């Protein structure tokens, strides 16, 4: 049975939750707020955790509710200042909105979805490798920190850093080959 | 400048390349090494593919400073 360990939540899941939120709300500040609310709400209702799902799944289920609530709140303001868009002239028939929202030739939508899943696969693989390695790898690769800045932050030498990056890249490549490419 | 790298050095250049941090000389030596070393060729291929994956997925992480702020707030709550 799964047990909760709130002490490790931020280190273990903040990045995954962030990735999950940012692709859905597309705003850094809002994502940050929603995630923070999620962690606090989870702490409050920790006694309700039955251990049937993994910690991450459970946190995501809380986050989902927060995201839905966020859109509900946003939508409740709708209608107060409604804007109708339509064709200007009579001879252009049809519903402007309907014709403009769906694009049957849009092949990028599926790609986008697949790439999003790839993002989650990368997060899951990073969870499985050494934590310090993963942290340094993320800073260097995803956040594009300078080598120097990371060395200062973690009190390591550049050659230490490159050894860590090398190991992280190797484990990550193997993990992705096993979990994603199959 | 030397012409022959050992495998550790070659992999190091290959890693640096993923972040555009290897120089031209390094790259020439790496390519010479790759001509005759199939193990490093394979590593190079996998490494380049990983970089492509990372780019394609546009994977995101919570910025470090925000993570630290959140961690401190959360820790405070945990301690109370």
Per-residue pLDDT of A145-160, as tens digits, reads 999 999 999 999 999 9
A14: nearest CB among B70, B73, B77? B70
Three-state SS for A75? helix
Question: Alpha-carbon distance B43 to A61, whole Å?
Answer: 39
Task: Check CB contact under 8 Å for A15 and B77.
Answer: no
Q: Say whether residue B64 is in contact with chain A using an 8 A CB cutoff.
A: yes
A140: nearest CB among B19, B53, B59? B19
Selected residues 135-154 of chain A with any CB under 8 Å from a CB in chain B: 138-143, 145, 147, 153
> Residues 6 or more apart from A66 whose CB is under 8 A from it?
A34, A37, A38, A41
Residue A102 has pLDDT above 70, yes or no: no
Cβ-based burial of A155 (10 A; exposed 0-12, middle 13-18, buried ≥19): exposed
Q: What is the pLDDT of residues A168-182, one digit of tens each?
A: 999 999 999 998 877
Confidence of residue A100 (pLDDT cuts 50, 70, 90): low
Give me A70's structure tokens. Answer: 């966020």
The confidence score (pLDDT) of residue B78 equals 87
Residue A77 has pLDDT above 90, yes or no: no
The confidence score (pLDDT) of residue A147 equals 93
Chain A residue with CA closest to B77: the answer is A40
A173: nearest CB among B50, B60, B71? B50
The confidence score (pLDDT) of residue A111 equals 79
> Residues 6 or more apart from A49 whose CB is under 8 A from it?
A2, A4, A58
Range from A15-29, A77-91, A120-134 carrying the lowest mean pLDDT = A77-91
Mean of per-residue pLDDT scores for chain A: 86
Handedness of CA A173, B55, A143, A56 (dihedral sign): negative
Task: Check CB contact under 8 Å for B62 and A15.
Answer: yes
The confidence score (pLDDT) of residue A119 equals 92
Q: What is the pLDDT of residues B27-61, one digit of tens each?
A: 999 999 999 999 999 999 999 999 999 999 889 99
Regarding pTM above 0.90, the answer is no
Selected residues 18-37 of chain B with any CB under 8 Å from a CB in chain A: 18-19, 21
Q: Say whether residue A169 is in contact with chain B using an 8 A CB cutoff.
A: yes
Contacts of B49 in chain A (CB under 8 A): 173
Residue A64 has pLDDT above 90, yes or no: yes
The confidence score (pLDDT) of residue A121 equals 93
Residue A1 has pLDDT above 60, yes or no: no
- Tell me if B61 sits within 8 A of A15, measured CB to CB: yes
Q: Say whether residue A68 is in contact with chain B using an 8 A CB cutoff.
A: no
User: For residue A60, how many other CB atoms are within 10 A of its CB?
Assistant: 17
The confidence score (pLDDT) of residue B20 equals 94
The confidence score (pLDDT) of residue B1 equals 59
A19: nearest CB among B49, B54, B60? B60
The confidence score (pLDDT) of residue A48 equals 84
């Amino acid at each position: 049975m799964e047990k909760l360990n709130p002490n490790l939540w931020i280190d273990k899941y903040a990045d995954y939750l962030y990735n999950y939120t940012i692709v859905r709300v597309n705003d850094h500040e809002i994502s940050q707020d929603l995630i923070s609310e999620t962690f606090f709400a989870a702490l409050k209702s920790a006694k309700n955790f039955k251990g049937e799902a993994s910690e991450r799944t459970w946190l995501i289920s809380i986050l989902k509710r927060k995201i839905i609530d966020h859109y509900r709140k946003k939508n409740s303001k709708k209608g107060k200042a409604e804007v109708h868009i339509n064709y200007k002239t009579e001879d252009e028939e049809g519903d402007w909105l309907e014709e403009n929202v769906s694009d049957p030739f849009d092949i990028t939508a599926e790609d986008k979805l697949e790439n999003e899943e790839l993002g989650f696969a990368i997060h899951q693989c990073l969870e499985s490798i050494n934590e310090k390695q993963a942290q340094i790898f993320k800073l260097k690769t995803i956040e594009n920190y300078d080598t120097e800045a990371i060395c200062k932050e973690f009190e390591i030498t550049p050659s230490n850093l490159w050894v860590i990056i090398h190991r992280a890249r190797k484990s990550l490549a193997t993990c992705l080959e096993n979990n994603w490419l199959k | 400048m030397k012409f022959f790298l050992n495998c550790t050095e070659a992999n190091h250049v290959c890693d640096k390349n993923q972040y555009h941090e290897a120089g031209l000389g390094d790259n020439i030596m790496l390519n010479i090494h790759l001509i005759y070393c199939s193990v490093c060729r394979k590593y190079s291929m996998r490494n380049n593919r990983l970089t492509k994956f990372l780019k394609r997925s546009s994977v995101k992480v919570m910025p470090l400073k925000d993570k630290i702020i959140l961690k401190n707030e959360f820790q405070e709550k945990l301690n109370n």
